[in-house]
Amino acid sequence: MLIKTYSRRIKMFSKKFPEGIISAKQFDREDVEYILSKGREMISIKNSDLLKGKILATLFFEPSTRTRLSFESSMYRLGGNVIGFHSGDVSSIKKGESIADTIRTVENYSDCIVIRHPLEGAARMAAKFAKIPVINAGSGSGEHPTQALLDLLTITEEVGALDGLNIGIMGDLKYGRTVHSLAILLSNFNVNTYFISPVELKMRNRDKDSLRQRQMNYKEITNFRKILNTLDVLYMTRIQKERFIDLEEYEKVKDFYIFRENDLNDTKDNFRLLHPLPRITEISPDVDKSNKSIYFKQTSFGIPMRKAILAELMQD
């Protein structure tokens, strides 16, 4: 019954975003609220045949655990099938084939393409060549819009409505693609945002310019302990070692932030700690057992959110 209700709803995204989901910039507030409501509906629909007969292609040119597996699991849970590869080394790109030619081929074998690639423009370029929708599952240091959507689903389910929240986004704001997409999505809401980073890893000017254009209310700080007691949410990120040109620079900042168990004492009762994962050293393992640490629960929201996205783009 639930499934029937779900499938009868108007599919906004396949009409509005025929190219797929490339950037968080595509989404206005209404779009975010719409897809979050679809994600919420999917929480109670474990398995269905909504995408029976459909094929998803997952083209991963960079390592992934959560993103690829949750896309694939979501597709199977909706009755669909998956093809793809999880390393550039095993596809014909290794032989010198261009992304454009790869896409022109894979579109004949599937109904939607999920791509992760080290180049910032890769997903956009793939969408330009594809006649089927493309989903950006991480484009270099650029964006990772579906992660940001699942982050918002986590916050709205576990903390509450976004308007009025104090949210800290901390770590590698220069190279971290999840935080770029998250900040863009949050710019649609009345959130007080703190960008917390070492000076070397501040949000890039071009990203800040576009957030200012979107009238986002944010402050940049370095010491998270100064504002920790005011935060509802702290979204931590890993320092993105693989993006550094000079590894000595990475060594200087790699342990800049370590969130420790005693930091929890300074947080509000309803404070929640998020992280897209993988976590390296930035959250001490003894923080995991606190009910304020919800980064593993956050991974579970990848399924309903991605099921909703896939259904939007592929459902007949």
Contact 137, 60 (CB under 8 A): yes
φ, ψ (nearest 5 deg) of residue 219: -130, 150
95: annotated active-site residue: yes
Produce one character per residue of 139-176: b if its CB has 16 or more CB atoms within 10 Å, e if not: bbbbbbbbbbbbbbbbbbbebeebeebbbbbbbbbbbb
Please list every residue from 228 through 267 that binds ligand NCD, using CB under 6 A: 237-238
Question: Looking at 87-95, 159-167, 188-196, 272-280, which segment touches ligand NCD (CB under 6 A)?
Answer: 272-280
CB of 215 to ligand NCD, least distance (A): 26
Instruction: Identify the active-site residue in 15, 95, 206, 289.
Output: 95
Minimum CB distance to ligand NCD smaller for 40 or for 66:
66
Within 159-197, where are the H helices? 177-186
146 forms part of the interface with ligand NCD (CB under 6 A): no
147 forms part of the interface with ligand NCD (CB under 6 A): yes
Q: 27: closest CA among 154, 175, 171, 136? A: 136
Helix (H) or strand (E) holding 127: helix 122-129
How far is the C-alpha of 217 from the C-alpha of 230, rounded, in Å?
16
68: annotated active-site residue: no
Instruction: Identify the active-site residue in 67, 156, 267, 299.
Output: 67
The mark string for 168-207 relative to ligand NCD (x by CB under 6 A, - otherwise) is: ---------xx-----------------------------
177: annotated active-site residue: no
Instruction: Identify the active-site residue in 116, 177, 275, 307.
Output: 116
307: annotated active-site residue: no
User: Could you say which of 13, 27, 45, 67 contacts ligand NCD (CB under 6 A)?
Assistant: 67
Residue 65 falls in which region: left (phi positive, over 0), alpha (psi -120 to 50) or beta: alpha
User: Which residues 6+ apart lie within 8 Å of 251 measured at CB?
Assistant: none
Contact 234, 168 (CB under 8 A): yes
CB of 244 to ligand NCD, least distance (A): 13
CB of 117 to ligand NCD, least distance (A): 11
How far is the C-alpha of 149 from the C-alpha of 164, rounded, in Å?
18
54 forms part of the interface with ligand NCD (CB under 6 A): no
Question: Looking at 52-60, 253-261, 276-284, 287-295, which segment touches ligand NCD (CB under 6 A)?
Answer: 276-284
**Residue located via tokens 């261009």:** 98
Minimum CB distance to ligand NCD smaller for 17 or for 60:
60
What is the DSSP track for 221-261? ES-GGGTGGG-SEEEE----GGG-SSHHHHHHHTTS--B-G
116: annotated active-site residue: yes
How far is the C-alpha of 248 from the C-alpha of 258, rounded, in Å?
19
User: Could you say which of 21, 125, 277, 303 contacts ligand NCD (CB under 6 A)?
Assistant: 277
CB of 11 to ligand NCD, least distance (A): 25
User: Could you say which of 20, 39, 80, 138 contacts ligand NCD (CB under 6 A)?
Assistant: 138
Catalytic residues: 66-67, 95, 116, 144
User: What residue ranges bind ligand NCD (CB under 6 A)?
Assistant: 66-67, 138, 144, 147, 177-178, 237-238, 276-278
